[in-house]
Structure 1
Amino acid sequence: MTTIRRIQDADVAGKRVLVRVDFNVPMKDGQVSDATRLEAAIPTIEYLTEKGAKVVLLAHFGRPKGAVVPEMSLEPVCQPLADLLGEAVYFSTVVTGPDAVSATMDLAAGEVLLMENTRFDAGEEKNDPAFAAALAELGDLYVNDAFSAAHRAHGSTEGVTHHLPSYAGLALQREMDHLVAALESPKRPVIALVGGAKVSTKIELLQNLVKKVDTLFVGGGMANTLLYAQGIKVGVSLCERDLVDTARAILAVAEQSGCKIMLPSDVVLAKEFKPNPETRLAATSEVGEDEMILDCGPATVVALGQAIDKAATLIWNGPLGAFETPPFDTATVETARHAARASAEGELIAVAGGGDTVAALNQAGVAGDFTFISTAGGAFLEWMEGKTLPGVAAVSGEVELVA
């Protein structure tokens, strides 16, 4: 089971603590338009400042590709962050070198310094050892609090950890604790809901989940490929016919692993994909040659609700239909509300993640009732695929320090 080194175990008083945060925030007219990611970093920053640490923040913004792009500077983040902290936040226009080191040395205990965009240096995304060593000169120990960047082996997420004792911040701890509880040591039975457009984007996810969970429901366009692989006609629905063998292999592994696969038993059909077209409800086996499957039907939603009621843990990634286009959001919204009620009543551990999933749960108005929602995107997906994330391994005591 994955274990991580936590900042609560470190002596940070008087030390420069290099903290990797996710400040890749939405901007409009040079101003932060959504401070959610800043807010997520506050608990770790406040914990460290209250313990007397000198906090040095590392983050990336956008994709400057190793060049200094003024429009991608992190300086506009300073004031909103200071407002949230109720304390001044200093800014360094350089990330490495004598001036950067000097700025960290000038900090008093409890003060906060934000460094410029790490991606202004090409060494960041290349995980260049020299750049990582230069970053390490900014601190006495390192804390990763950006799970959303943990799947990238970059200088500020992995390379620097070869030079400094490394720990997990509070936000990363919360993320890992919930994901480990959901997939590595879950309360059973476990049901997973996986949706989205294409099987090709989630092959590894499906391959891993069928070995881990008790029931797997597949919805969205992905379900069409699995249905087609079982000889069911899907009309002109989105379907990756070239992945039939892959789909059959996944179904075979599920059977070998004792994982029950659930697919839609009834579907909402239309002859054109647009908002509020003429629709038809039919059994999955009754799709016309000129029709496309765009959502799960009510019988499927009822069956899925019953399966959720039997589960102790739910993992959800991806919508169950074309939820952005009404009325094809119905199955996703109704299932989300069902799961949210069970979670709110303490009957279900409900963990969800992925951009479309978060949007769907927000659309259903139930995001606050889930046990945990990950906004990490790619890192969440790779973790669910069973991959080792470089940023997590780095704070798990698995990285050897350079002598």
Structure 2
Amino acid sequence: MTKKVVTDLDVAGKKVLVRADFNVPMKDGEITNDNRIVQALPTIKYLIDNKAKVILFSHLGKVKTEEDKAKLSLKPVATRLAELLDQAVPFVAETRGQELEAAINSLQDGEVMMFENTRFEDIDGKKESKNDPELGKYWASLGDLFVNDAFGTAHRAHASNVGIASNLESAAGFLMDKEIKFIGGAVDNPARPFVAILGGAKVSDKIGVIENLLKKADKVIIGGGMAFTFAKAQGKEIGTSLLEVDKVDLAKELLERAGDKLILPVDARLATSFSNDAAAGVVSIDEIPADKQGLDIGPESEALFAKELQGAKTVVWNGPMGVFEFENFAQGTIGVCEAIAKLSDATTIIGGGDSAAAAMQLGFADDFTHISTGGGASLEYLEGKELPGVAAISDK
């Protein structure tokens, strides 16, 4: 079913609850990266321009103790949002009660306010994270309509997404809609050839994704630490490289099932230890010494992956090719970024997490069609799972 989008709602004069993803990195009470706030602006501005009364809320971090509350207030987010919108964003440091209700009821058309971190409700019995029905119903009672723009939490059934949507007419915000169209579309109805690139440390983190994409994609390229578990499954010496011993048999099974659809590295950049300063050259994947470890794919693998990407019409990438945080082992990830950036006629998608961080950190953010804002949500979508936060949004 196609989900309603914010443009399908009659928002003028209405109190519109907006679940945003303002789970931004903080240090000493200061926001260190405001990308998630910026990503929410199109939906918020649309509602302002169309005379809605906008009530924003989000989670921030994990709140387990009273001490966490002091460090995880959304007040700095409201302050930054006011700067970006160039208008006041009053903040109510409550998640329920008379002060919050009065602030909402005093809103005028086109005004915006924000209330406190939804996970403050987790202190007493995890009411938010366990989708407490009474809490979802209460929050829904504060508004006339609900817009869910928080794809990053769409894989979780919480009171602030599923709970509210169960009690109120709802729609996807522009960011949520974009995620549904790009990631959902890539998995369900991709333009072909469709090439998936999977990296990261562990096979166990990506089993479902690998299995689903082997069914859907024309090629699946494997890099990162998990490539060494596949190399071990082929009987190769991998030295002290990352290995999931209990996943070797699964890797063998996937190799047999995939045939030539699965593309693995042919060389590796080595280190004597897990350190940027421990670089020890490049060798064939068949010649890794017993006392060294691979921390990145090598140049021949970069060339192979670039060749496999040529002519692709849809590319989905999740997980770096090596320890990109170490300058000496970032080249494989840079090489993949460059190869994807050269695809002029393809839909190119990064499925959140470390690969999104790598592309932004390495300066390639503008070279992709879409960079997902959700790590876990993107992975589960790529696995083909139904996301509760998406499923709960009203159908058109």
- Give the TM-score normalised by structure 1: 0.92
Equivalent residues of 2:55, 2:104 under 8 A apart:
yes
Query: How far 1:89 moved relative to its partner?
Result: 1.2
> Secondary structure, in 3 states, of the residue corresponding to 2:55?
strand
2: CA distance, partners of 1:45 / 1:366: 27
2: CA distance, partners of 1:95 / 1:304: 49
1: CA distance, partners of 2:295 / 2:110: 54
2: CA distance, partners of 1:83 / 1:363: 24
Equivalent residues of 2:196, 2:213 under 8 A apart:
yes
Equivalent residues of 1:333, 1:363 under 8 A apart:
no
Question: What is residue 63 of structure 2 aligned with on the other side?
Answer: 64
Bigger mean CA offset, 216-225 vs 277-286:
277-286
Say if 2:169 is the partner of 1:165: yes
Cα distance change of structure 1 residues 369 and 163 upon mapping to structure 2, 3 Å threshold: same
Question: What is residue 205 of structure 1 aligned with on the other side?
Answer: 209
Query: How far 1:353 moved relative to its partner?
Result: 2.6
Say if 2:294 is the partner of 1:330: no
Cα distance change of structure 1 residues 55 and 224 upon mapping to structure 2, 3 Å threshold: same
- AA of the residue aligned to 1:325: F
Question: What is residue 188 of structure 2 aligned with on the other side?
Answer: 184
Equivalent residues of 2:302, 2:336 under 8 A apart:
yes
2: CA distance, partners of 1:75 / 1:276: 41
Query: How far 1:66 moved relative to its partner?
Result: 7.3
Cα distance change of structure 1 residues 253 and 4 upon mapping to structure 2, 3 Å threshold: farther
Q: 1:347-368: per-residue Cα shift (whole Å, max 9, x none)? A: 2221113332123223432121
- AA of the residue aligned to 1:120: F
Q: 1:316-352: per-residue Cα shift (whole Å, max 9, x none)? A: 111112222232221211221121122xxx3222111
1: CA distance, partners of 2:304 / 2:61: 43
Question: What is residue 104 of structure 1 aligned with on the other side?
Answer: 104
- AA of the residue aligned to 2:35: T
Question: What is residue 388 of structure 1 aligned with on the other side?
Answer: 386
Kindly report which structure 2 residues correspond to 1:196-275, keeping only aligned pairs within 5 A, or say none: 196-255=200-259, 260-275=261-276
Query: How far 1:146 moved relative to its partner?
Result: 0.8
Equivalent residues of 2:183, 2:351 under 8 A apart:
no
Question: What is residue 148 of structure 2 aligned with on the other side?
Answer: 144
2: CA distance, partners of 1:15 / 1:396: 17
Kindly report which structure 2 residues correspond to 1:2-401, keeping only aligned pairs within 5 A, or say none: 3-65=2-64, 67=66, 69-122=69-122, 123-255=127-259, 260-342=261-343, 346-397=344-395
Q: Percent same amino acid at aligned positions?
A: 45
Unaligned runs of 5+ in 2: none
How many residues get paired? Answer: 391
1: CA distance, partners of 2:254 / 2:143: 47
> Secondary structure, in 3 states, of the residue corresponding to 1:124?
coil
Equivalent residues of 1:101, 1:137 under 8 A apart:
no
Cα distance change of structure 1 residues 298 and 27 upon mapping to structure 2, 3 Å threshold: closer
Query: How far 1:312 moved relative to its partner?
Result: 1.2
2: CA distance, partners of 1:54 / 1:278: 56
Equivalent residues of 1:152, 1:389 under 8 A apart:
yes
Query: How far 1:43 moved relative to its partner?
Result: 1.1
Query: How far 1:18 moved relative to its partner?
Result: 0.5
2: CA distance, partners of 1:272 / 1:102: 59
- AA of the residue aligned to 2:5: R
Bigger mean CA offset, 369-378 vs 271-280:
271-280
> Secondary structure, in 3 states, of the residue corresponding to 1:121?
helix
Cα distance change of structure 1 residues 125 and 278 upon mapping to structure 2, 3 Å threshold: closer
Cα distance change of structure 1 residues 89 and 347 upon mapping to structure 2, 3 Å threshold: same
Unaligned runs of 5+ in 1: 399-403
> Secondary structure, in 3 states, of the residue corresponding to 1:143?
strand
- AA of the residue aligned to 2:38: E
Equivalent residues of 1:211, 1:253 under 8 A apart:
no
1: CA distance, partners of 2:210 / 2:167: 37
